[in-house]
Structure 1
Amino acid sequence: MLIEQGQDEPNIALARRGLLGASPFLPTLAFSFDLLEFYRQLRRRQPTFGIQAFARVLCTFHSLLYYPKLQEKLSRAFDVYLDIRRRLQQLTDEALGRNTPNWRALFGCPCCGFKQPNEPALTPDRLHAMDGNSSQKRLRGAGRADLRELDSSYFLSPAQVDKFSDEVTGKRGKAPAPGPPVPDSDADADADADSDGLPTANQPKSKCTDGWQAANATSMGKSVTEVFDQTGVFLTTCRHGIVEFVTEMVRSGELAKYALASLNAIMKTYGDDQAVGYDIGCSMHSTVLSTSLADEAKARRLHLIVNAFHGYAHNRRCQLLFHILYQLGMGIEDLETCERIFSSLNGVARTVRHASYFHWLQFLDLHLHRWDEDRYAELSRFIYNNYRQALGMISEYTRELAVFTQITGFTGADFERWIVEERDYLESLREEPEEDMQKVSYVEALVNLEAAEELERRSAHRKLLLAQNVVDDLERRLAIEDRWTPESSEFKTVRDYIDKRKFIRAVEELEGLVVSRLFELAKANISGTGYKLRKHISHAITRRSGAVRSALDRYNKLAPLQQPPRPVLDYSEVADYSWLADFDILKESRSDVLEKAWSNPGNREASMKYFKILRAKEELTRLNVEAARLQAWVDFEDQDLAMRAQNLRETSPLLSAHIDQYRGLRAQVNDNQRRLLGRTYALKGYTGPVPGPESCYQGEEDQDDNDLDGEAEIEDDEEIIEEVLNLGDVVHRLSIL
């Protein structure tokens, strides 16, 4: 592990003995390469295991008193070791022909990038997810003396990002949207954003993004941006979870420029027909149209959508326009991939908060490479599980819809028509007519006038005159010749309408509280959420539940007074509300909405299942293509690595040996890919191509099928603890080298 050396032995001699000196000149302390590799693997699997903890473990093994200098020496040696590995990887990539620009982004996921001749065209061509996370903060001024640079294939350069800093200044008008055409009326459902990603002062924000941190980028606060240099990262991934691009967020929240730079990279790298899921995709849809990306986005048919879980917290009209369930070609994908990566990355945040910029970047890069390796190994499992899920949805929901159709007579054409009708209905409720608002003001003014007349005897003359002037002005605007009285039909109609407006506000208040409660419950169950944050969330949920009960009481008092009466709800029913679609149905309309077929809960449930069947069939089409690409890739890679190693055997034997070692590791992974692909081909209902026997896995059959559904997956924390315990004897052996 660590060896005291004489001052006359150079570093080259140490390296030949499998040791790396702790200083560049005349080292007195050296670490074995095996030990440094062991720590690299530990750090990749458990990023919270910092260099100091490992140094203390080494001292314990050697019965030495820990001293801080040892941590510094170990850190320097580990940096050099990682630099050696990066240089070796560059040589390997060059030998394998993988050093072309954006090779990793293009082919890191063979299911997305290894296209085959004569395969069916997919629309969209690729599915991406993007989002920002503020956990990976780095204190300003930390490690200021460390001026080293690291070239990571993941990170977009500051120049690629800052070119969009001053782009978002307002709308260019109602230009056609990127992707499939949508009604022009969706324009003000989205928020205009300035250079900070915020709506402009003279434009209303979209209600469905009011509570989103991404749509309110400066919510991080000035105090935070003054303390930290890096305030997080903005990720772009493929649907399989393999990272494509990363942008560092610098002294800011989730600004629009990070999303715009990511979208620009997607279009430049992947070309036409790209679909991107973003939790504020509706707002970003409008933002893109106000920038220099607008023309290219329309020409390349860039399609911005809202991912599944976050999308259900948007208002219903936004869902009908942007939610992934109603978008053609999306399959059963949820595009919530970034949240899973952030949960894993949170471990890195604990060890880079006080690091230099070089170390911040290095350890993020190290973790992302490990993440992508794991996701590559899971591609065949992804295909297998999604294929089974899609087949199960089609089988189950088709039977249920057949019974529903037999009973009601409604068919797929009705479900499609209902979506249009519901969207038109919600469109009609977007703004209150000016005449209605004036009538409301008039009735309120009459009420105030009546009250002022009653109080005139108590020196309220000025109030009476003011109320009289307001009434006169509104009568002139509305061309009212005979003043309304509380007994007149017009007065009663508007008075009822005022009561209904109060009811709408009560529904909206209840809706907002339920949304907050849903996300707090979801956050409380995310793997990697710390103890203190869990307690904070738990207290918030308790407070939120009390607020929900109060808002529910206000709602229930007004619900029976509506025409027609709205249903009275109990707390258990509201607590079980999963999404927001039903809240819009509770609100007032100017038509007989409750008599519409699409407002019936049973019909709405059937409609959802119809669209899920459509998406499941699209998923099978995409999976057939992805399975063929993955099968072709594993066959190609095995042969390519063997050929490259053979070609280098005489000219560069060490590099050839390294590629051979890499080929052995990949062969294990690729054999497992073949095994699970074979299980996919054997599924009843599989409709894709089946390769010949030479491409199928020929090893021993794994009898344990439980892990195929992900039911036996182990949490990262538990997995690393078990791994450390099992490898304890390895540490001991390394420590005596």
Structure 2
Amino acid sequence: MLPQVLLHHGLFPTAPSQPHMAVSVELLSFYQALFERSCDAINALASALKTHYSRRGLGYAIQWYDILQVQIEHRVEEAVQNSRNRVATLHSQTEDYTSTLSTLHRGRCAPILIQRCPACFAGTMFGKPTAEGGDIHTATDGNFHHRHRRAAGDCPHFYDPTYFLPKEYIDHIGHHIEAQCKRPAKSPVLLVPDEAIDQCETACEAADGKKQKVAMDSFDDTGIMALICRHDISLFFANIDSPGEQQKYSVALLEHLFLLIPPHATVVALYDVGCVLARSLSKYNILPSSIVSHLRLATTAMHAYGHEWACQLVDNPWMCIGLGLSDGEGTKRLWSRFVRLIGVERSSLAAAIGSEMQSDLGDWIQRHLKCGINDQGTAAQEVLDQCELSIKDLESEWSQQRSSQLSVCACKCFQLILNTL
């Protein structure tokens, strides 16, 4: 009964039973907000308040308070999900299917995805072809600034992080990729010639999974890999524990995403070396065919200009039908938000930043509708009007130019010209 009595009086115990100290709930809330903005460690605040609290007592209180917050969030989400299920049941009983939706399939994404970005995952109709933009747009990228020093050790296990994939799962994907790559490769028909992808792989640092970017002797986790939606909201993370950015991290993140969406849903994933990863998935049975057929890989907008021209014609998001304003650079904007976490890292802060970005989702959509669709659309229409050619004629000319420049001969000639410059 003692913890309940303390909570009734606005105090939070340092242990769930037989606590030796209690801390003001207002102080704990203040510290949590302070940590999300400045990432000060617990002992920094404890030192400032050492005349009132001991460092150890405040640390325990923060730990249990954080666990309680997570439990409350789970209970609230469970209640919200029960309401969603009831509404969906009533809706499916009364809905009249129309012929315009005959090519789509009904389904629902996992509650955890709906919670993180309702704009991407709260829909119920899926099956739009990836050639037309797909249903869901994502982006993935690695960051080697967020590393963990080996000598620091691990803290006691509080709770299972909902954002980070387990190391065992990622290692399993890595062993599967190694086993598949030892088998005879298939000869897929790719739009981008192998010669062009070889040049992209040589030029792009992210494609070299063996290049050591961090001293492995000093760090056990050398970075993190993120998967975000088109609204720059983080979905899942993977700890990088290898010298470079190996394919197992992006493959694990994408496979985990497909486990949480309807089987007919299609996904477009943008990655700095999307062309290299796409070729690996086509040559080896790294992912199930049911996933590969519903997945479209492309390069991020900024990195696309460092790729071969043949690769840009197929994988540059500005040249792909249906991708709209999705550029795949949201991971860079996410790293900008995470910069304050480099000094001290905790997985629960991913949830805090994700919640903040979800709260800003309405402003994000409004800003892109105005600055993106409205302003850029108007400018593009003015250029089209000056061409004095129909959209159909322009599409025909572009299709012919694209087909010509995607040939193996054109790729070799283009590379020969570059070598002579």
Offset of 1:283 from its aligned partner?
Answer: 0.7
Aligned counterpart, 1:189: 196
Aligned counterpart, 1:193: none
Offset of 1:257 from its aligned partner?
Answer: 0.9
Query: Root-mean-square deviation (CA), in Å?
Result: 3.2
Tell me, yes or no, if the aligned pair for 2:116 and 2:355 is still in contact at 8 Å: no
Mapping 1:440-519, distance limit 5 Å: 504-505=418-419, 507=421
Aligned counterpart, 2:277: 284
Aligned counterpart, 1:369: 351
Q: For the structure 1 residues 396 and 425, does the alpha-carbon distance in structure 2 shift closer, same or farther, using more than 3 Å as the test?
A: farther
Aligned counterpart, 1:414: 397
- 1:162 paired with 2:163, answer no
Offset of 1:417 from its aligned partner?
Answer: 2.2
Could you state the TM-score of these two structures normalised by the residue count of structure 2? 0.81
Q: For the structure 1 residues 428 and 157, does the alpha-carbon distance in structure 2 shift closer, same or farther, using more than 3 Å as the test?
A: closer
Aligned mates of 1:13, 1:428 — CA distance in 2: 75
Classify the secondary structure of the residue corresponding to 1:217. Answer: coil
Classify the secondary structure of the residue corresponding to 1:234. Answer: strand
Aligned counterpart, 2:138: 128
Classify the secondary structure of the residue corresponding to 2:205. Answer: coil
Aligned mates of 2:210, 2:287 — CA distance in 1: 23
Aligned mates of 1:163, 1:392 — CA distance in 2: 47
Higher relative contact order structure (alpha carbons within 8 Å, sequence separation ≥ 6): 2
Aligned mates of 2:419, 2:414 — CA distance in 1: 14
Q: For the structure 1 residues 339 and 426, does the alpha-carbon distance in structure 2 shift closer, same or farther, using more than 3 Å as the test?
A: farther
Aligned mates of 1:263, 1:228 — CA distance in 2: 26
Aligned counterpart, 1:228: 219
Aligned counterpart, 2:241: 250
Offset of 1:88 from its aligned partner?
Answer: 2.1
Task: Work out which of the residue numbers 43, 46, 63 in structure 2 matches 1:79.
Answer: 63
- 1:58 paired with 2:40, answer no
Q: For the structure 1 residues 315 and 149, does the alpha-carbon distance in structure 2 shift closer, same or farther, using more than 3 Å as the test?
A: same
Tell me, yes or no, if the aligned pair for 1:282 and 1:318 is still in contact at 8 Å: yes
Q: For the structure 1 residues 22 and 283, does the alpha-carbon distance in structure 2 shift closer, same or farther, using more than 3 Å as the test?
A: same
Classify the secondary structure of the residue corresponding to 2:148. Answer: strand
Deviations 1:171-220 (A, max 9, x none): 622225xxxxx43x623433xxxxxxxxxxxxxxx222334332112222
Q: Please, which runs of 5 or more residues in structure 2 have no aligned partner?
A: 86-108
Larger Rg: 1
Mapping 1:110-125, distance limit 5 Å: 110-115=118-123, 123-125=133-135
Q: For the structure 1 residues 16 and 395, does the alpha-carbon distance in structure 2 shift closer, same or farther, using more than 3 Å as the test?
A: closer
Offset of 1:398 from its aligned partner?
Answer: 2.2
Offset of 1:36 from its aligned partner?
Answer: 0.3
Q: For the structure 1 residues 27 and 230, does the alpha-carbon distance in structure 2 shift closer, same or farther, using more than 3 Å as the test?
A: same
Aligned counterpart, 1:19: 11
Mapping 1:166-185, distance limit 5 Å: 166=175, 167-168=177-178, 169=181, 172-176=185-189, 182-183=190-191
Could you state the TM-score of these two structures normalised by the residue count of structure 1? 0.48
Given residue 186 of structure 2, which amino acid in structure 1 is its aligned partner? G
Task: Work out which of the residue numbers 6, 26, 50 in structure 2 matches 1:34.
Answer: 26
Q: For the structure 1 residues 380 and 424, does the alpha-carbon distance in structure 2 shift closer, same or farther, using more than 3 Å as the test?
A: same
Q: For the structure 1 residues 38 and 315, does the alpha-carbon distance in structure 2 shift closer, same or farther, using more than 3 Å as the test?
A: same
Deviations 1:564-623 (A, max 9, x none): xxxxxxxxxxxxxxxxxxxxxxxxxxxxxxxxxxxxxxxxxxxxxxxxxxxxxxxxxxxx
Classify the secondary structure of the residue corresponding to 2:235. Answer: strand
Task: Work out which of the residue numbers 260, 266, 284 in structure 2 matches 1:269.
Answer: 260
Q: For the structure 1 residues 34 and 364, does the alpha-carbon distance in structure 2 shift closer, same or farther, using more than 3 Å as the test?
A: same
Q: For the structure 1 residues 14 and 173, does the alpha-carbon distance in structure 2 shift closer, same or farther, using more than 3 Å as the test?
A: same
Offset of 1:312 from its aligned partner?
Answer: 1.4
Q: For the structure 1 residues 251 and 16, does the alpha-carbon distance in structure 2 shift closer, same or farther, using more than 3 Å as the test?
A: farther
Aligned mates of 1:233, 1:128 — CA distance in 2: 17
Aligned mates of 2:207, 2:288 — CA distance in 1: 19
Aligned counterpart, 1:595: none
Classify the secondary structure of the residue corresponding to 2:251. Answer: helix
Q: For the structure 1 residues 187 and 106, does the alpha-carbon distance in structure 2 shift closer, same or farther, using more than 3 Å as the test?
A: farther
Offset of 1:120 from its aligned partner?
Answer: 8.9
Aligned mates of 2:398, 2:285 — CA distance in 1: 36
Q: For the structure 1 residues 207 and 119, does the alpha-carbon distance in structure 2 shift closer, same or farther, using more than 3 Å as the test?
A: closer
Aligned residues: 384
Mapping 1:217-616, distance limit 5 Å: 217-220=209-212, 224-270=215-261, 271=263, 272-289=265-282, 290-293=284-287, 295-298=289-292, 300-352=293-345, 363-365=346-348, 367-388=349-370, 389-405=372-388, 411-424=394-407, 427-429=410-412, 504-505=418-419, 507=421
Tell me, yes or no, if the aligned pair for 1:51 and 1:75 is still in contact at 8 Å: yes
Aligned mates of 1:293, 1:118 — CA distance in 2: 21
Q: For the structure 1 residues 58 and 393, does the alpha-carbon distance in structure 2 shift closer, same or farther, using more than 3 Å as the test?
A: same
Q: For the structure 1 residues 247 and 118, does the alpha-carbon distance in structure 2 shift closer, same or farther, using more than 3 Å as the test?
A: closer
Given residue 204 of structure 2, which amino acid in structure 1 is its aligned partner? W
Classify the secondary structure of the residue corresponding to 1:163. Answer: helix
Deviations 1:321-365 (A, max 9, x none): 21112212101221211111112222112013xxxxxxxxxx222
Identity across matched positions, percent:
21
Structure with greater strand percent: 2
Given residue 292 of structure 1, which amino acid in structure 2 is its aligned partner? I
Given residue 290 of structure 2, which amino acid in structure 1 is its aligned partner? E
Classify the secondary structure of the residue corresponding to 1:226. Answer: coil
Q: Name the stretch that deviates more: 279-288 or 82-91.
A: 82-91
Task: Work out which of the residue numbers 73, 80, 104 in structure 2 matches 1:96.
Answer: 80
Tell me, yes or no, if the aligned pair for 2:200 and 2:307 is still in contact at 8 Å: yes
Deviations 1:237-262 (A, max 9, x none): 11011222211122443211111111
Offset of 1:384 from its aligned partner?
Answer: 2.1
Aligned mates of 1:418, 1:174 — CA distance in 2: 26
Aligned mates of 1:292, 1:120 — CA distance in 2: 24
Structure with greater helix percent: 1
Classify the secondary structure of the residue corresponding to 2:161. Answer: coil
Aligned mates of 1:399, 1:314 — CA distance in 2: 29
Deviations 1:368-412 (A, max 9, x none): 222222222222222222222223223222222332347xxx844
Tell me, yes or no, if the aligned pair for 1:348 and 1:364 is still in contact at 8 Å: no
Offset of 1:12 from its aligned partner?
Answer: 4.4
Aligned mates of 2:310, 2:170 — CA distance in 1: 32
Q: For the structure 1 residues 323 and 150, does the alpha-carbon distance in structure 2 shift closer, same or farther, using more than 3 Å as the test?
A: same
Tell me, yes or no, if the aligned pair for 1:281 and 1:306 is still in contact at 8 Å: yes
Aligned counterpart, 1:474: none
Q: For the structure 1 residues 93 and 387, does the alpha-carbon distance in structure 2 shift closer, same or farther, using more than 3 Å as the test?
A: closer
Aligned counterpart, 1:579: none
